[in-house]
């Protein structure tokens, strides 16, 4: 049995197992790599060499950069900006949603962009009177088109760029993909606007994603913090030399001003809790004692608040304070979390009360409820099922709440921050790191893998993400697929299997020339991409495409770009890509709902791959 036949047998088994979808894709990919060793096609060093390939390193670093943007609320800011300007018209909604997801995808990959925007898009559809099914699938399809706008849009682009470098001595530039990507984005938006209402079902999902964009308002109402809210102004500085000069509380800022105690003493002022410190115009202030001109937002009994103000020389501001509670509960620095006392928790029998500092010293209890009833300012002996609302800075919440075995977290602080706090802590650092990475990639000063690793490392060093977050952010399934399938790609080429398929393809297109070759490659790639991972598809087809280009005597660059476009055209089934699967439930779709609109999108990608690509990358 020839080496080419062995390679074909392994490739066939991989495709069948991927399509069967009963084994984890990681197992199939690793099994393929091991089979190359046992059949003698590759040596032991070669079957694991893929995991050290620069493509793998670069793709892994992109996941960390994406996490930095998402965790700091950059994508939340983009989504909330969309919700503020989208209006209610279907056409405007579609255009803005698809433009936004395409732009985000170019920077943070398809899966990251769809995951970040999907909850907001579904809620936006409901608020504007549209079915979620009208926007969810266009969101995913717009992301696929947007992946062709830049090198960082998808791992496939990185694979294609490296293949072009090896075959022609020149890779694809960072924004070079946009020559094909811009027509793709314009086309899919036009198709969604003109034909989407005819080809998409009008259906609402049985389960909707959580809308946490108004989480602070919900908590303020549930725990009655907005009903008993007060705003206390710290007076301006007293001239030096008077009897009142000097601080009242700890950490006074000096200059003859006065600072309020933070927080109020829960023993002397029972039930009175500090929700936050704001400037006079209601902007949340960063951590530290309140200084002259700052406003304290407190919750508690009015008489107690009045006594606190009188004893510390604070002025009670008139007017409703409820609106200021929202900004005090959730902002860039501080957040809140609901926790439930578990049935076997060590907290059962312990006491808690508003204003109490937890054992860690990082969190403050704002309210205690039992069976939905407010327990008031007094001490409560905790029982299983009691709910506590605790406040602290975001790092303290994630450090103490998520890891505490004695409580059950209602909504993860990290999830709340991502949806409810646009441009949170570290957001500007994350954007600066992204801009620096794009600059390095666009100028080619350093290799792509080096630029990616520098950006990922900067995200950690600048404390945008922690090391643990960085590890969690990496899609290890994608890394394993790429690392394990690279040896199969090498074996297909080295064994002569790629030349055999390429010769058959060239023979099949006959005298049709290079355009017919592009059409054949597009069909092969797009069909395979509906059944298996499009990343794996690219690794399988690119060696064939390179061999076919060599046999036909044309440049490999348009051929590789054609395969790249085709690999992104995974529209016909929900299992074609993770992004398609993400919108299945929230959009209320069924398996057969994808192909009507998807087939039109696929046809447009075919037009671009066969007719537009050669205009920019000559044969």
- Mean pLDDT (whole number) for 209-222: 80
Question: Does the pLDDT of residue 287 top 60, yes or no?
Answer: no
Domains parsed from the chain with CATH numbers: 235-313 (no CATH), 334-420 (3.30.70)
State residue 259's pLDDT score: 56
Q: What is residue 424's three-state secondary structure?
A: coil
Return the H-helix or E-strand segment holding 274. strand 273-278
State residue 588's pLDDT score: 86
Closest CA to 545 of 576, 522, 527: 522
State residue 255's pLDDT score: 36
End-to-end CA distance of the chain: 36
Residue-averaged pLDDT of the chain: 86
pLDDT band of residue 351 (cuts 50, 70, 90) is very high
State residue 584's pLDDT score: 83
Closest CA to 274 of 291, 294, 298: 298
Strand order in the sheet with 229-233: 273-278, 295-299, 229-233, 315-316
Angstrom distance (rounded) from CA 375 to CA 406: 20
Structure-block tokens of residue 212: 């946490």
Residue 153, burial from CB neighbour count under 10 angstroms (0-12, 13-18, 19+): buried
Place of tokens 């049995």: 1
Question: Does the pLDDT of residue 537 top 80, yes or no?
Answer: yes
Cβ-count burial 248-264 (b if 16+ within 10 Å, e if not): bbeebbeebbbbbbebb
- Mean pLDDT (whole number) for 29-50: 91
pLDDT band of residue 261 (cuts 50, 70, 90) is low
- Mean pLDDT (whole number) for 495-502: 85
- Quote the crossing angle between the two packed helices 594-607 and 556-568, to the nearest 10°: 170
Cβ atoms of 68 and 464 within 8 Å: the answer is yes
Q: What is residue 390's three-state secondary structure?
A: strand
What does the angle CA 276 – CA 278 – CA 282 come to, to the nearest 5 degrees? 120
Report the range out of 84-88, 210-214, 322-326, 416-420 with the highest average pLDDT.
Answer: 322-326
State residue 378's pLDDT score: 86
Angstrom distance (rounded) from CA 598 to CA 156: 20
My answer on whether omega of the bond before 263 falls inside 30° of 0, hence cis, is yes
Angstrom distance (rounded) from CA 373 to CA 385: 12
State residue 175's pLDDT score: 92
Return the H-helix or E-strand segment holding 389. strand 387-393
Read off the pLDDT of residues 155-185 as tens digits, 9 standing for 90 and up: 899 999 999 999 988 999 999 999 999 999 9
Residue 436's Cβ-side half-sphere holds a number of Cα atoms within 13 Å equal to 17
pLDDT band of residue 256 (cuts 50, 70, 90) is very low
State residue 454's pLDDT score: 95
Angstrom distance (rounded) from CA 504 to CA 498: 10
Task: Give the rounded distance of the alpha carbon of 562 from its chain centre.
Answer: 28
Question: Does the pLDDT of residue 240 top 80, yes or no?
Answer: no
Q: What is residue 273's three-state secondary structure?
A: strand
Read off the pLDDT of residues 506-529 as tens digits, 9 standing for 90 and up: 888 767 789 999 999 999 999 888
Question: Does the pLDDT of residue 244 top 60, yes or no?
Answer: no
Cβ atoms of 301 and 272 within 8 Å: the answer is yes
Structure-block tokens of residue 581: 């699967």
State residue 243's pLDDT score: 44
pLDDT band of residue 207 (cuts 50, 70, 90) is low
Q: What is residue 200's three-state secondary structure?
A: coil
Read off the pLDDT of residues 352-395 as tens digits, 9 standing for 90 and up: 998 888 888 889 999 999 988 888 888 999 999 999 999 988 88
State residue 604's pLDDT score: 97
CB atoms within 10 A of CB 27: 12
Cβ atoms of 492 and 96 within 8 Å: the answer is no
Stated length of the chain: 619
Read off the pLDDT of residues 453-469 as tens digits, 9 standing for 90 and up: 999 999 999 999 999 88
Residue 427, burial from CB neighbour count under 10 angstroms (0-12, 13-18, 19+): buried
Angstrom distance (rounded) from CA 265 to CA 261: 8
Least confident of 38-52, 79-93, 330-344: 79-93
State residue 245's pLDDT score: 40
Angstrom distance (rounded) from CA 593 to CA 231: 53
- Quote the crossing angle between the two packed helices 476-494 and 534-552, to the nearest 10°: 30
């Amino acid at each position: 049995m020839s080496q080419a036949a062995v390679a074909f047998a392994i490739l066939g088994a991989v495709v069948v197992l991927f399509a069967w979808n009963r084994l984890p894709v990681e197992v199939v990919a690793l099994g393929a790599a091991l089979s190359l060793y046992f059949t003698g096609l590759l040596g032991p060093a070669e079957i694991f060499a893929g995991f050290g390939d620069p493509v793998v390193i670069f793709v892994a670093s992109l996941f960390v950069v994406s996490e930095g943007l998402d965790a700091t609320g950059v994508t939340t800011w983009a989504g909330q900006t969309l919700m503020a300007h989208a209006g209610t018209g279907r056409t405007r909604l579609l255009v803005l949603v698809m433009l936004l997801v395409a732009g985000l995808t170019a920077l943070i990959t398809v899966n990251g962009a769809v995951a970040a925007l999907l909850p907001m898009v579904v809620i936006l559809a409901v608020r504007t009177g549209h079915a979620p099914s009208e926007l969810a699938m266009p969101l995913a399809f717009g992301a696929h088109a947007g992946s062709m706008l830049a090198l960082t849009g998808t791992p496939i682009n990185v694979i294609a760029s490296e293949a072009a470098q090896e075959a022609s001595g020149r890779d694809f530039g960072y924004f070079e993909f946009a020559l094909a990507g811009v027509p793709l984005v314009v086309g899919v938006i036009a198709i969604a606007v003109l034909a989407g209402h005819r080809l998409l079902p009008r259906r609402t999902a049985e389960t909707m994603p959580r809308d946490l964009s108004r989480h602070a308002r919900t908590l303020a109402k549930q725990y009655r913090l907005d009903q008993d809210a007060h705003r206390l102004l710290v007076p301006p500085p007293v001239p030096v030399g008077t009897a009142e000069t000097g601080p009242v509380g700890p950490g006074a800022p000096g200059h003859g001003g006065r600072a309020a105690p933070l927080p109020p003493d829960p023993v002397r002022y029972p039930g009175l809790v500090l929700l936050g410190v704001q400037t006079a115009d209601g902007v949340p202030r960063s951590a530290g004692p309140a200084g002259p001109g700052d406003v304290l937002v407190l919750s508690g009994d009015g008489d107690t608040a009045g006594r606190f103000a009188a004893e510390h020389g604070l002025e009670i501001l008139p007017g409703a304070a409820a609106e200021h509670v929202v900004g005090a509960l959730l902002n860039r620095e501080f957040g809140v979390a609901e926790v439930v006392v578990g049935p076997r928790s060590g907290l059962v029998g312990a006491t808690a009360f508003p204003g109490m500092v937890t054992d860690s010293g990082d969190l403050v209890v704002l309210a205690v409820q039992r069976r939905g009833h407010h327990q008031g300012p007094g001490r409560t002996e905790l029982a299983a099922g009691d709910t506590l609302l605790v406040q602290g800075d975001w790092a303290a919440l994630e450090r103490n709440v998520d890891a505490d075995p004695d409580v059950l977290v209602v909504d993860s602080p990290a999830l709340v921050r991502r949806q409810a706090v646009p441009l949170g802590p570290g957001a500007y650092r994350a954007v600066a790191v992204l801009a620096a990475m794009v600059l390095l990639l666009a100028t080619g000063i350093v290799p792509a893998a080096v630029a990616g690793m520098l950006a990922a490392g900067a995200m950690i060093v600048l404390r945008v993400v922690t090391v643990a977050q960085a590890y969690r952010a990496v899609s290890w399934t994608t890394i394993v697929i790429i690392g394990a399938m690279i040896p199969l790609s090498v074996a297909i080429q080295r064994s002569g299997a790629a030349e055999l398929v390429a010769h058959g393809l060239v023979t099949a297109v006959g005298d049709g020339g290079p355009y017919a070759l592009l059409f054949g490659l597009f069909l092969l790639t797009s069909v395979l991409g509906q059944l298996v991972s499009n990343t794996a598809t690219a690794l399988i087809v690119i060696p064939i495409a390179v061999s076919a280009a060599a046999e036909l005597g044309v440049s490999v660059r348009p051929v590789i770009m054609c395969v790249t476009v085709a690999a992104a055209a995974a529209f016909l089934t929900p299992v074609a890509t993770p992004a398609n699967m993400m919108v299945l439930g929230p959009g209320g779709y069924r398996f057969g709902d994808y192909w009507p609109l998807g087939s039109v999108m696929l046809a447009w990608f075919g037009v671009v791959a066969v007719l537009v690509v050669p205009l920019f990358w000559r044969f």
